[in-house]
Amino acid sequence: MQYVRVGDKLVSRDKIMRTVDKILERRSAGMSQQEVAYEMNIDRSFISRLETMGELRKGGKVALIGFPVSNKGELADVAQEYGVDHIFLMSEEERWDWVRAKTGAELLNEIMGLVGTIRAFDTVIMLGSNMRIKLVEAVVDKQIIAIILGETPLREDKYVDPEVLRSLLKGLKD
């Protein structure tokens, strides 16, 4: 256990973290701030301040989808930093491995599943060729933010400046 001396009080860091975890678990399960405050015998305004302090992004759920990208790890790190809810990035090689590993019916089912998945998000950031982005815009009735990696067909991995993604995600937060 970790303790901190604050004046004449001995404060348990572990107890604070357990309490914060309980608050966040209950809030993410759908309880209102007032309900959690009542249950845990704390002020509702404390819960509000706690959520504001830890807030990464306001607004709806965001997905990041893209291929073929050469620096997918770097982009995923930026997306995670900003609390992106769903990340699906592939290199050209991974894309072809994914396609070749399936029968035609399996591939169609998988693609339909992906479409269903991204339709659950309020904003979709799409990295891809001009044609792929147009297809996603036609199928998904949500806000699509396009980062065009080039003209169709793309046959090699493309580098995406992580600062472009960072700036875009920062703009979504504001």
Neighbours of 171 (CB within 10 A): 9
CATH of the domain at 36: 1.10.10
At residue 83, what is the residue type? Answer: G
103 & 32 share domain: no
pLDDT tens digits for 23-36? 999 998 999 999 99
Say if residue 115 is in the same domain as residue 36: no
- Name the percent of the chain lying above pLDDT 90: 79
Query: What would the pLDDT profile of 126-171 be if each residue is shown by its tens digit?
Result: 999 999 999 999 888 888 999 999 999 999 999 999 999 999 998 8
Asked if residue 156 and residue 105 are part of one domain, the reply reads yes
Residue 44 and residue 75 in one domain: no
pLDDT one-digit tens code per residue, 39-60: 999 999 999 999 888 765 567 8
Residue 149 CB partners (closer than 8 Å, separation 6+): 66, 68, 69, 127, 128, 129, 158, 160
CA atoms within 13 A on the CB side of 139: 18
Q: How many domains does the chain have?
A: 2
Residues 42 and 70 in one domain: no
Residue 36 shares a structural domain with residue 117? no
CA distances from 166 to 3, 63, 132, 139, 171 (A): 37, 14, 22, 26, 9
> What's the pLDDT at 174?
65
Same domain, 86 and 121: yes
Which of the four pLDDT bands, split at 50, 70 and 90, describes residue 86?
very high
**pLDDT score recorded for residue 107:** 94
Can you give the pLDDT at residue 1? 74
Instruction: Say if residue 83's pLDDT is above 80.
Output: yes
pLDDT of residue 88: 96
- Encode pLDDT of 6-21 as tens digits: 999 999 999 999 999 9
Asked if residue 30 and residue 47 are part of one domain, the reply reads: yes
* pLDDT recorded at residue 23: 94
Rounded to two decimals, the pTM is 0.69
The pairing of beta strand 9-12 with beta strand 62-66: unpaired
Residue 169 pLDDT? 92
Does one domain contain both 95 and 167? Answer: yes
Let me know whether 31 and 74 are in one domain: no
- What's the CATH number where 150 sits? 3.40.50
| Mean pLDDT of the 91-101 span | 96
> What range defines the domain where residue 86 resides?
62-173
- 48 with 78, same domain: the answer is no
Domain co-membership, 36 together with 107: no
